[in-house]
Amino acid sequence: MDNTSLQSNQKEFISPFITTEAFLNHWQGHRRLTRKVIEAFPENEFYNYSLGGMRPFAEQVMEMIGLAAPGIRGIQTGNWTSIEKPILNSHTKAPETKREILNLWDWVTDQIDTIWPQIPQNRFEETDVAFGQYEDSVYSILLYLIDNEIHHRGQGYVYLRSLGIEPPAFWDRI
């Protein structure tokens, strides 16, 4: 090993911003908050209310579910196809009740907790083509999924506020 690659490897190992264990907790904290935002919506407005021609929050949540479930398996295995049972991809239609969506949400939460420790070491720094379309480092792919959730959840906050409903506090991740 020459000096350059030694330095490069050292740099990689001595400057982690966050560990994988802590990052899982960060992600699940966001998922807990999003779950509270789903709960805060009245059933009808969850499916039908929108502003500026945007999608109702139910459809935004189905996007989150349809990305996270195949996403965590793709991160683990490199297989980015739809989940087959329940059928889940970014085009999956919302089930008819908030209760069913919350059940799906909780199923995905369990999948993430189960799969996370099985993700191969150093997987996050690999490059992959997420969902067969988006080539990037695996850490960037996962950050994108979470950022997308925060982005749409923030929009859900505006829906709630404009309905006169106080959303959960942004810092509440318990």
CA distances from 125 to 2, 111, 135, 137 (A): 22, 22, 13, 6
Q: Which residues in this chain contact a second copy in the complex, by CB under 8 A?
A: 11-23, 26, 30, 51-54, 121, 124, 137, 139-140, 143-144, 147-148, 150-155, 157-164, 170-171
Shortest Cβ distance from residue 87 to a second copy (Å)?
25
β-sheet bridge partners, residue 128:
136
Nearest residue (CB) to a second copy, 2 versus 53: 53
| In the complex, least distance from residue 88 CB atom to a second copy, rounded to whole angstroms | 21
Would you say 21 or 100 has its CB closer to a second copy? 21
Which CB, 107 or 157, lies closer to a second copy? Answer: 157
Residue 59, C-beta contacts closer than 8 angstroms, at least 6 positions apart: 94
d(CA 119, CA 172): 28
Pinpoint the alpha helices (H) of 56-126.
57-77, 98-115
**Comparison of 53 and 132: residue with beta carbon closer to a second copy:** 53
